[in-house]
Amino acid sequence: MNWLLTLLLLPAIGAVVVALLPKDKIDMAKQVALGFSVATLVLVIAMALQFDAESTEPFQFVTSTPWIRSFGVSFSLGVDGIALVLIALAAVLVPVVILAGWNEADHSDAPTKGYFALMLLLEACMIGVFAAVDVFLFYVFFEVMLIPMYFMIGRYGGARRSYAAVKFLIVSLFGGLFMLASLIGLYVVAQREIGAGTFDFLTLTQLNMDDTTQRMLFLGFFFAFAVKAPLWPFHTWLPDAATEAQPGSAVLLVGVLDKVGTFGMLRYCLPLFPEASQFYTPIIIVISIIGIIYGALLAIGQTDIKRLIAYTSISHFGFITLGIFAMTSQGQSGSTLYMINHGFSTAALFLVAGFLMSRRGSKLVEDYGGVYKVAPLLAGFFLIAGLSSLALPGMSSFVSEFLVLVGTFVRYPIAAVIATTGIILAALYVLWLYQRTMTGPVKPGCEDVKDLTGREIVAVSPLVVLILALGVFPAPALNVINPAVDRTMVAVGVMDPSVGVGAGCDLADGCRAEGEGQ
């Protein structure tokens, strides 16, 4: 069975089917969309059970068909452990979002069926971007997935949806142009070195580029990924987009789509440009630390619930990038796991906050208070999601955050210590938000807030189960991730520092020397 092609086509076909349904068949459109998303999840689970974590092959379930022969472009799909868990993340979140956002688009001027068709189309694009092993194909999916999200924000979002959607699209496309320029450069280098231009990922990793070329091409890729992630100071589009989007759209935007940026850093920046990755690491680590602190501080000062959650994600993406460029197996495994855990915890936060705001009709923190007295289940789910976001031990985010900090400390102890302050700030913004909205006397307007319905409980419960399960037993995910991370470390030419080496490792000399000794 051609697993990946089937996975790619199933939600795409679902999107077409939903779009072709009559406009008045709103319930049928929702049911069909949910059915296709659940079928996709089942297929991902079946594929994951066939995945061999001990395989020495760089990619599994590979399928390749020539696409644009004259430019060496092929429609090539394949997954390693990193791509597999991110595809699984998308497959879990889409049916959760459809079920949780059952009524999100009902009051929009645009057809309700279009909202759910766009979700399925976005899922197909996200599967494609994680599974592509042809760099040009990756770029195509990287850009095309912007379109469904643009319409999900621009047609179904809040009062300033047009501004937020246009800003999201323009900034993202602008970043993508830099990656396109670097793609062209890679093609020219390949043509010069092997006599034929190609975009095959494994072939491109074998190119012998000089340091100057690597550093120039690296910047194009990294800029595009930093915008997508988003990493400070390229983050400005995210608070607006996440605030104006429907909660379900915000989940897919922050929970999955933004992970393409950090995935791209790990998958493409490091193996394609190993010397440049090491050269720019000190700068990227500084940027990551600034993002951790900056995002947390701005989250503390927000009065809009959705905007607060958006700024917490900027802080979290700083942790993810820090772990990737710590150049240790613990850091990179922690970052990959962090992408998954952040997706689940942020999804739970956005969805429960969405349930709350739909009942009260306000996004402002000051309009809430004492909600736990009238809606205890809602308050309980909100607390679990918040505790996961602040990386409480026993929650999934703790494991990934711990690995990132340990992996960073062995090379950059000062950076790790500074980054740890982000945990303290996370406790402030999460607990303060919970205290102001859920505890104390019931504020006027909150008396009639109803508790979660059965559908809403069913939608959010899988996220809570995964948050708790991965917090107690993360081994199944790490066993899949670790071999792929090890191959990335080998491709970059670095190895984990010995005990006592990390505290004084200089990236330009010592770390490279370790890699040469492999």
pLDDT 10s digits, 42-69: 999 999 999 998 888 999 999 999 998 8
User: In the prediction, which pLDDT does 214 show?
Assistant: 92
Cα torsion through 432, 322, 132, 179, rounded to 10:
100
Into how many domains does the chain fold?
A: 1
User: In the prediction, which pLDDT does 25 show?
Assistant: 87
Which residues in the chain land under pLDDT 50?
Answer: 500-518
- Residue 65 falls inside a structural domain: no
- Residue 227 falls inside a structural domain: no
- Residue 502 falls inside a structural domain: yes
> Which of 337, 319, 277, 322 shows the shortest CA–CA distance to 491?
277
Q: What is the DSSP letter of 361?
A: -
For residues 469 and 420, give the distance between their C-alpha atoms in angstroms, rounded to a whole number: 24
105, HSE (Cβ side, Cα atoms, 13 Å): 27
- Residue 195 falls inside a structural domain: no
User: In the prediction, which pLDDT does 501 show?
Assistant: 40
Tell me the whole-structure pTM to 2 decimals: 0.91
- Residue 186 falls inside a structural domain: no
> Which of 278, 266, 211, 215 shows the shortest CA–CA distance to 495?
278
CB atoms inside a 10 Å sphere around CB 198: 21
Domain range for 364 is 291-518
pLDDT digits (tens, 9 = 90+) for 435-489: 999 998 999 888 888 989 999 999 999 999 999 999 999 999 999 999 999 999 9
260, HSE (Cβ side, Cα atoms, 13 Å): 33
- Residue 183 falls inside a structural domain: no
User: In the prediction, which pLDDT does 271 show?
Assistant: 93
User: In the prediction, which pLDDT does 151 show?
Assistant: 93
User: In the prediction, which pLDDT does 284 show?
Assistant: 95
User: In the prediction, which pLDDT does 294 show?
Assistant: 93
- Residue 88 falls inside a structural domain: no
The answer to whether the CB of 75 falls within 8 A of the CB of 65 is: yes
The answer to whether the CB of 345 falls within 8 A of the CB of 396 is: yes
Q: What is the DSSP letter of 21?
A: S
CA angle 512, 130, 36 (to 5 degrees): 160
- Residue 388 falls inside a structural domain: yes
User: In the prediction, which pLDDT does 207 show?
Assistant: 87
> Which of 142, 135, 123 shows the shortest CA–CA distance to 8?
123
**Consecutive H or E run containing 36:** helix 26-50
